[in-house]
Structure 1
Amino acid sequence: MAQTAVVYFSGYGHTKRAAEVAAQSAGAALIEIDAEGNILESDWDTLDQADAILFGTPTYMGSAAWQFKKFADATSKKWFTRAWQDKVFGGFTNSASLNGDKQVTLIFLQTLASQHGGIWVSLGLPPANTKAATRQDTNNLGGSVGALVQSPSDAGADEMSTGDLETLKQYAARVAGIAVRLHG
């Protein structure tokens, strides 16, 4: 059975809830990047042993949070030894705006995975783009590179869109399932 890990940073709790939903759906280990951009030493071992890694970060000012970027920079030690070569990767991001330049963050995550020689998994869900579509539909934000989540700035983590969370559940299960197919 392939192992999956979700590594994330959350500033206000919304991305944490998204990460928890993803981890539960994928049967994954959950690794939190702290407020200083660090993870535990044992977390590096978990990531090394994982067959699939999902990255999660809020989108702040059109890119990943600086704490996630610090983590990403620290992965250069893994890059140098090709420790994550051929792992399966996916990513998700959350912002207060419907768009919020989340695509830029996903491309950052996809690039990070590619630099490690990883295999990026697309969302694999059609967009909910009809007049009848609501925020409760899966992929209502119309992503394709990874999962997009939107949380209004004045809403608590318990008020997140069920459609966004369902999108994330399906995506995390897809990433984990592809890892099983590739790595057993």
Structure 2
Amino acid sequence: MICIVYFSGTGHTRMLAQAVAEGAEEVQLIDVEAMGPEDWVALDAAEAIIFGAPTYMGSTAARFDMFLEEAASRWDTGLWADKVAAGFTVAVHPSGDKMNALVRLAVFAAQMGMIWVGQSEIGAPVKPEREGINRDGSWLGLMATDPVSEGDKATARLFGARVAGASARWAAGGCKVAHA
């Protein structure tokens, strides 16, 4: 199972989370503002976790950072080690320092021993027939600009499918490592 854990201040990140979920198919959406004990159980059992947060003032939103700090309690036991991880963000401006938010998520995943999956879709202008796909030209993870376009949603669905495929390959390969 894949869990998509997100914070959405104005609804745009939730919209992306739903599109990523459509691409990944078998997922559990978890809003950090409504988390309960059962959500932590799901995250701990998930084969992959996709993190989503808006970019505020050059990094992930503080409310999402609170979730990351709580999740870090799994670090010393390696509970999330070898899970597939990925991330997405949205901001008002085309740059909006969204790369910093994705770096924040990727570094968190690395510190947890997770396996990061980036974004791979090539759109216009390189492939003019794919107008709107990966319009922000992001490779570390999924980026979108507010307002979230149909191209952003299409890219999010492709991203969800990519993470699901990577998770299935990782799990099928028996690549899980025992941690002390």
Cα separation, 2, equivalents of 1:113 and 1:7: 13
Structure 2: any 5+ residue segments left out of the alignment? Answer: 173-180
Describe the superposition over 1:120-174 as per-residue Cα deviations: whole angstroms up to 9, x where unpaired: 001012242359689x52011100000001114xxxxxxx201111111101110
1:57-72 aligned at under 5 Å gives the runs 57-72=53-68
Shift in CA distance, 149/78, structure 1 to aligned 2, threshold 3 Å? same
Task: Give the equivalent residue in structure 1 for 2:160.
Answer: 172
RMSD of aligned residue pairs (Cα, Å): 1.7
Aligned pairs, number: 171
Cα offset, 1:95, TM superposition: 0.5
User: Does the 8 A contact of 1:9 with 1:15 survive in 2?
Assistant: yes
Cα separation, 2, equivalents of 1:127 and 1:55: 23
Task: Give the equivalent residue in structure 2 for 1:161.
Answer: 149
1:1-184 aligned at under 5 Å gives the runs 3-27=1-25, 28-34=27-33, 39-129=35-125, 136-152=131-147, 160-184=148-172
Given the two structures, how large is their TM-score scaled by the length of structure 1?
0.88
Cα offset, 1:75, TM superposition: 1.1
Structure 1: any 5+ residue segments left out of the alignment? Answer: 153-159
Residue 8 of structure 1 aligns with an amino acid whose one-letter code is Y
Cα offset, 1:72, TM superposition: 0.4
Residue 32 of structure 1 aligns with an amino acid whose one-letter code is D
Identity fraction in percent: 39
Shift in CA distance, 133/67, structure 1 to aligned 2, threshold 3 Å? farther
Structure 2 residue matching 1:81: 3-state secondary structure: coil
